[in-house]
Structure 1
Amino acid sequence: MEQLPYRREAFYRRESKSVPAARAFTAWALDDWHAIERLDDVLLCVSELATNALLHGVPPGRGFRLHIAMCAHRVIRVEVHDSGDGTVAPSAPRAEEEHGRGLLLVAALADKWGVGERDPGKSVWCEFEAEPGPGPQC
């Protein structure tokens, strides 16, 4: 039997079918771990982070890596690693703009989120407490 913390990862190429594939992979992992309490929130954030990686962080010919983990205290952590540069911050788009609300959704739905440095690139992560409680960190 698999021991906590549970971990899964997958690599996706720079193509439009990568976002639904990342969502399906995440749904499979959370179902396998019997951790579907926050499934809709997690899947929406995976969609947003994967889309942002494809639009802003993945140069042609590269891809992004999706990491999903769940710790003993049932905190689900999602990380999207890309090779792009730059900083990431949610901003309030003007009402007439069609894009730019993804990280605002992540900030609203996740219990925590942030950005980490990588060489090359960055890692954007978010966490969801399925059942809050004490336990080791991921």
Structure 2
Amino acid sequence: MNLKSPELPTRIRNFSVQLSPTPRAARLARLLATEQLRSWGLPLDPARQVIAELSANAAIHGRVPGRDFRLLLYVVADTLRIELTDTYGDRLPRPQHPTTDAESGRGLVLVEALASRWGVSPGPTPRKTVWAEVVLPPAVRNPCSGAAGCLPQETRG
């Protein structure tokens, strides 16, 4: 008699898009990511704001003419990971604390406040990846069931 229970396949949720380093593409990254999060049944905030800030940084500060940036989203266990890879690896981001009347410069301060953690990973020259992780609320931590971007991954017992 086999008492081993059948294993359910796990689900991997991922989304990736490559865009030109322009303000318009940064906006498109946010819009596409928002739709992907919706299709996965995940909360839009704070992820949408983190994606907007990191995409804008990739388009403005990571801009190298003729080289694209990439947005990657994936869910592992209870965490949504957001990655923006650009081709300006020599220019590492760091939070700034602008004056109260400054019109910009708060992006990474916002990311730091909204994300569970964030950082920078060097890539093959000339790339770098700025990443942020957002912990998902308990109600949405279950794997997706057939939603777009969900790929079955077989497990072995």
- The aligned amino acid for 2:72 is H
- Among 121, 133, 136, the alignment partner of 1:130 is 136
Residue of structure 2 equivalent to 1:24: 31
Which has the larger displacement, 75-84 or 90-99? 90-99
Higher RCO (CA-CA < 8 Å; seq separation 6+): 2
Cα gap change, 1:35/1:91 in structure 2, threshold over 3 Å: closer, same or farther? same
TM-score if structure 2 supplies the norm length? 0.76
- Among 23, 39, 42, the alignment partner of 1:35 is 42
SS in structure 2 of the partner of residue 70 of structure 1: strand
Q: Give 1:74 deviation, angstroms.
A: 2.7
SS in structure 2 of the partner of residue 99 of structure 1: coil
Q: Structure 1: which 5+ residue stretches go unaligned?
A: 134-138
Which has the larger displacement, 2-11 or 108-117? 2-11
- Among 102, 108, 112, the alignment partner of 1:103 is 108
SS in structure 1 of the partner of residue 104 of structure 2: coil
Aligned length: 129
Calculate percent identity across the aligned residue pairs. Answer: 33
Distance in 2, Cα, partners of 1:69 & 1:100: 27
Residue of structure 2 equivalent to 1:136: none
Q: Give 1:3 deviation, angstroms.
A: 4.8
In the alignment, is residue 121 of structure 1 matched against residue 127 of structure 2? yes
SS in structure 2 of the partner of residue 51 of structure 1: helix
TM-score if structure 1 supplies the norm length? 0.86
Whichever of the two has the greater Rg, that structure is 2
Distance in 2, Cα, partners of 1:19 & 1:121: 18
SS in structure 2 of the partner of residue 46 of structure 1: helix
Distance in 2, Cα, partners of 1:26 & 1:3: 22
Q: Is the 1:58–1:82 contact (alpha carbons within 8 Å) kept by the matching residues of 2?
A: yes
Correspondences of 1:31-70 after superposition (within 5 Å): 31-36=38-43, 39-70=44-75
SS in structure 2 of the partner of residue 43 of structure 1: helix
